[in-house]
């Protein structure tokens, strides 16, 4: 009988962390240890609280173990990883807000950059053979995507340059651009993960996600675009559009498809890899187009207000070129359409209190 493998996942009560915990636990038979200290409630107030998701995992996932640990606690991280010696580490914990980072720069950098380093070094010391999957962000590219020529359509902006017809590749420049402080801290973590793969030979990868979404997302105004938009629609709450005529574009990927790719990487790991992991052009939408999708599933008109100001370092148009990820892992592909995903988000918000 094969020994049961162990997964250590950080940010376990968040959207991606909880999806990974369930997928590896239920589908792959891993024993799951989750790290989370509900910092999302500190960042975003009661609306960002994820204790409900922690309780859901503890009640519904057999053998799940919760660790109330701050990833800035270096001694605590080193001790936990040394004790568990997990077969896989999935690092999703972060300060996730582009906007919030400017108000809490020390916390943002200590969590995103230093917290990641704590786990990398712990893995190098205790389990260097274990795949290490890091949830990065497309903000590592800064506002470089905005230098690409765009064309304006009725409901969206799109790339005019045919070189980007499939979206943004991993080769896009990451320097000489405005990132936001969030982008800076995540870029530091991203490069560290790559370096632990290249310099020390650890099986690591960075997943540069855009809009990661799904029914277990506790969307708030400063993070969780699609979930928060749906929540506003159901409550009749005003949604604020920041600039670009509401035609700014993002690709959206269901959290299950993120977990599925992580499993594919773990099954055939590489060292120091980088992948743009998103919904691609087929699962992209502008804010105006997302309004229409939400209205289709709720039957309610979206209430919104337009502000003629954009967020610093924000992308006008971004969707991921999935060419590299499909070439390296051809058995993986998207399993959820954007329409499917919006429907699931609507159903989930209707099942739990909107004020949660």
> What CATH code would you report for 6-351?
3.40.50.720
Could you tell me what percent of the chain has a pLDDT over 70?
A: 98
Q: In the chain, what are the domain boundaries?
A: 6-351
In which band, very low, low, confident or very high, does the pLDDT at 2 lie, cut at 50, 70 and 90? low
In which band, very low, low, confident or very high, does the pLDDT at 217 lie, cut at 50, 70 and 90? confident
Examine the pLDDT at 143 and tell me if it is beyond 70: yes
Examine the pLDDT at 283 and tell me if it is beyond 50: yes
Query: Mean of the pLDDT values across residues 60-78?
Result: 97
Examine the pLDDT at 273 and tell me if it is beyond 50: yes
Tens of pLDDT, residues 35-46: 999 999 999 899
pLDDT at 134: 98
Pair 127, 196: CB distance under 8 Å: no
Question: Alpha-carbon distance 105 to 94, whole Å?
Answer: 13
Question: Alpha-carbon distance 207 to 275, whole Å?
Answer: 5
HSE at residue 251, side-chain half, CA atoms within 13 A, is 26
Question: Alpha-carbon distance 132 to 270, whole Å?
Answer: 10
227-248 burial: b if 16+ Cβ within 10 Å, else e: bbbbbbbbeeeebebeebbbbb
- The residue length of the chain stands at 356
Examine the pLDDT at 356 and tell me if it is beyond 50: no
Could you tell me what percent of the chain has a pLDDT over 90?
A: 90
Query: DSSP letters along 201-248, please?
Result: ---EEEEEESEEE-TT---BTTB-HHHHHHHHHHHTPPEEEESGGG--
Tens of pLDDT, residues 291-339: 999 999 999 999 999 999 887 778 999 999 999 999 999 999 999 999 9
Pair 194, 201: CB distance under 8 Å: no
Query: Mean of the pLDDT values across residues 235-241?
Result: 96
**324 CB contacts (<8 Å, ≥6 apart)?**
169, 170, 275, 276
**Among 142, 287, 143, 121, CA closest to 204:** 121
pLDDT at 266: 98
Query: Mean of the pLDDT values across residues 266-280?
Result: 98
Backbone angles phi, psi at 75, to 5 degrees: -60, -40
Question: Alpha-carbon distance 319 to 29, whole Å?
Answer: 33
Examine the pLDDT at 179 and tell me if it is beyond 80: yes
In which band, very low, low, confident or very high, does the pLDDT at 353 lie, cut at 50, 70 and 90? low
Question: Alpha-carbon distance 349 to 351, whole Å?
Answer: 5
Pair 36, 14: CB distance under 8 Å: yes
Examine the pLDDT at 170 and tell me if it is beyond 90: yes
């Amino acid at each position: 009988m094969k020994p049961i493998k162990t997964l250590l996942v950080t940010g376990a009560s968040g959207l991606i962390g909880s999806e990974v915990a369930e997928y590896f636990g239920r589908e792959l038979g891993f024993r799951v240890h989750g790290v989370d200290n509900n910092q999302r409630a500190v960042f975003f107030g009661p609306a960002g609280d994820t204790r409900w998701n922690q309780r859901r995992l503890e009640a519904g996932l057999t053998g799940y173990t919760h660790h109330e640990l701050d990833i800035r606690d270096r001694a605590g991280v080193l001790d936990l990883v040394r004790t568990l010696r997990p077969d896989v580490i999935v690092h999703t914990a972060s300060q996730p807000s582009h906007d919030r980072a400017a108000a809490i720069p020390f916390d943002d950098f200590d969590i995103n950059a230093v917290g990641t380093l704590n786990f990398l070094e712990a893995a190098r010391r205790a389990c260097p053979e274990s795949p290490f999957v890091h949830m990065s962000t497309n903000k590592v590219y800064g506002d470089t995507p905005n230098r690409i020529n765009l064309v304006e359509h009725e409901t969206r902006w799109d790339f005019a340059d045919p070189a980007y017809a499939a979206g943004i590749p991993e080769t896009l420049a990451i320097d000489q651009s405005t990132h936001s402080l969030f982008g800076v801290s995540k870029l530091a973590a991203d490069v560290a993960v790559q370096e632990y793969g290249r310099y020390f030979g650890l099986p690591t990868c960075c997943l540069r996600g855009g809009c990661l979404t799904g029914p277990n997302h506790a969307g708030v105004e400063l993070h969780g675009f699609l979930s928060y938009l749906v929540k506003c629609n159901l409550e009749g709450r005003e949604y604020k559009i920041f600039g670009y005529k509401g035609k700014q574009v993002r690709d959206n990927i269901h959290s299950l498809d993120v977990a599925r790719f992580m499993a594919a990487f773990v099954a055939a790991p590489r060292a120091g890899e980088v992948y743009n992991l998103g919904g691609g052009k087929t699962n992209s939408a502008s804010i105006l187009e997302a309004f229409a999708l939400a209205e289709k599933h709720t039957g309610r008109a979206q209430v919104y207000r337009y502000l003629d100001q954009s967020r610093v370092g924000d992308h006008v148009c971004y969707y991921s070129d999935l060419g590299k990820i499909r070439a390296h892992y051809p058995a993986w592909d998207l399993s959820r359409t954007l329409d499917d995903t919006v429907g699931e988000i609507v159903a989930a918000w209707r099942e739990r209190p909107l004020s949660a």
